[in-house]
Structure 1
Amino acid sequence: MSIYGVEDFLARAKAYIEIGDENALRHACLELRFSLESIVYQRLRKIGDKLPRSVYKSWQPQKALKLLLSFEPRADQDITLDICVETVDGAPSGNRQHIGDYKMFSVKWLNKSYNKLGKFLHLTSLSEDDSPPQINATDLQEILDEIERVSTASLVLTMNSITAVACAVCKSDMYVSLSQIEEGSVVECYKDSCGAKHNIVKLDEGRFTADRIGFQSVPCNKCGKSFSIEDVKHGELKDCWNCSQTHVVGWGYSAWPIPEKSTV
């Protein structure tokens, strides 16, 4: 069995693709989605206990893999691991021993393929009545081939350390990796109702801060707690993460200094 254990999903998908009618191909889509989810979620679990499953258990694979990439920028790239064998005197011999291969989907491919499979797991929407999406056995076979390629990996690598830090807005745990600290990344709160952005600023001796510098928060009109509005567009609705009070956010401007009213 492969390290990801998706053989049963792929075997059923192959059988459905061989049958080839629309009903069978829809079942193949479901099995292929299960395969993608299994591989991505297992890869994310390898980060360890520092990233609780509650952070990503309800996420679709695209968002989960994006999170993984924020921690490990090369996590969606194939890697071959070899070691150099030493001679008796401790000098490198030049002979290499193959340890294994790490394989993973690219984010771009995963986004495209996962969404394509999803189109055929629901009834056609009203907007698609005139040109419903066409399920295609050839497309499904190409997706299956890529999943099979990744499933032949012999290694699952994780190469980062992760630290928990409180969101400056809602106080929920966020998770910051060593690579994000080194690169001075922008990290978002994982709580969907918050999503506040933070600048990661490296200090000394491995320390860092998560600052809201350059980002905007306003107090809730009901509970008074601050909520982030940096990604809110003019006229958009935004719920308070604490009490769920809905707000409408609008931008405006005026001359400065404010002109004095003329008197007659």
Structure 2
Amino acid sequence: MSYQYRDIARQRLTKAKALLAAGDEDSLTYACLEARKCVEALAYDVLAYYLRDVSLKAMKLWQPDKVMKELIQIDPGADQSRILSMQTEPVGSDPPGQWVTIGEDRRLSAQRASKMYHQLGNYIHVPTIRQMEKSEPRDVSTIRKNVEQIVQELDHVVASTVWGVVLVDGITFTCVCETPIRRTQKFLDNGHQPQCGNCGQMFTVEHENGSEDWYFGPVRFNWFCDQCGIEREILQSKAELGLDVSCPACGLHAILGSITSWRVKQDKPDGAKTSPRQSGASPDCAGS
């Protein structure tokens, strides 16, 4: 799927410029709103480059500062501008060619994007009670100056001729839903569990120092049927409240429930319900 966030950013920025040019205070407020949407679109544009690298949690984020913070955990350079150059390789005795600049992928830093976003939001919203108590007049000229500076910075980013450059050297594996997942070795070495950005499936990671092999195991919840004793399991991504997980061998009725973690509630052979067994509380119903 093609995401058109770069085009959205351009459209919002164009509207912000037109509203600033109107010169009145109401138009200034709406210019702040359009500029804020431009910041959002630029953050989502960068997020779209890392779809194989991000968790489902990151896909649900909408605040630009939180989006960039999540991306930096995966690629420390996700919020940094970079110049893309290329050269021809040497052939035989011929030396390599001259470096040719292709363009610059300009990005807002996470810190600057966060400041812009909250600053513009502050101009849009009604003053807080504390601000009203201070009786500080709204300095329109200062606000306009700050917004014009923000718009100028956004214009510099949007005008870049190259974008979407990702230089992450990651480890890729395939989720149970067939979606490719990529994470950097640093991310995995820090003990983080990868999560699929498509279905939300979590994975455990095994790796021996010095080995090039990585093993990714989908997290499952396990329990034993109280009537026939067979072991049951369900993928973490498939677990949902009220799901029927009745035993396929003996037919004992069971449903999946959750308080703070997923649990299984089973009927006794005589039809009465047993006490709930939480996935993290007993050895026969533990996540693996």
TM-score past 0.5 threshold: yes
2:72 aligned with 1:72: no
Choose between structure 1 and 2: higher helix proportion. Answer: 2
For structure 2, the residue ranges without an aligned partner over 5 or more in a row are 176-180, 196-204, 218-257, 263-277, 279-288
Alignment root-mean-square deviation, CA: 3.7
Identify the match of residue 155 of structure 1 among 143, 159, 163: 163
The verdict on how the C-alpha distance between 1:158 and 1:14 changes in structure 2, with shifts beyond 3 A counting, is same
**Cα contact 2:58–2:70 (8 A) shared by 1:** no
Mapped partners of 1:45, 1:137: distance in 2: 32
Residue 92 of structure 1 deviates from its aligned partner by 3.7
**Cα contact 2:74–2:183 (8 A) shared by 1:** yes
Mapped partners of 1:25, 1:87: distance in 2: 56
2:133 aligned with 1:99: no
SS in 2 for 1:101: strand
SS in 1 for 2:62: coil
Mapped partners of 1:180, 1:75: distance in 2: 15
- TM-score normalised according to structure 2 size: 0.57
Mapped partners of 2:5, 2:59: distance in 1: 21
**Cα contact 1:164–1:176 (8 A) shared by 2:** yes
Aligned residues: 199
1:64-88 Cα distance to aligned partner (Å, 9 max, x none): 0111111111111111111112355
2:21 aligned with 1:18: yes
- Aligned-residue identity in percent: 24
SS in 2 for 1:98: strand
1:47 corresponds in structure 2 to: 50
Identify the match of residue 214 of structure 2 among 181, 187, 207: 207
Residue 48 of structure 1 deviates from its aligned partner by 2.8
The verdict on how the C-alpha distance between 1:97 and 1:208 changes in structure 2, with shifts beyond 3 A counting, is same
Mapped partners of 1:12, 1:187: distance in 2: 42
Q: Which has the larger radius of gyration?
A: 2
1:138 corresponds in structure 2 to: 145
Residue 24 of structure 1 deviates from its aligned partner by 1.0
2:183 corresponds in structure 1 to: 177
Mapped partners of 2:194, 2:90: distance in 1: 50
- TM-score normalised according to structure 1 size: 0.62
2:42 aligned with 1:34: no
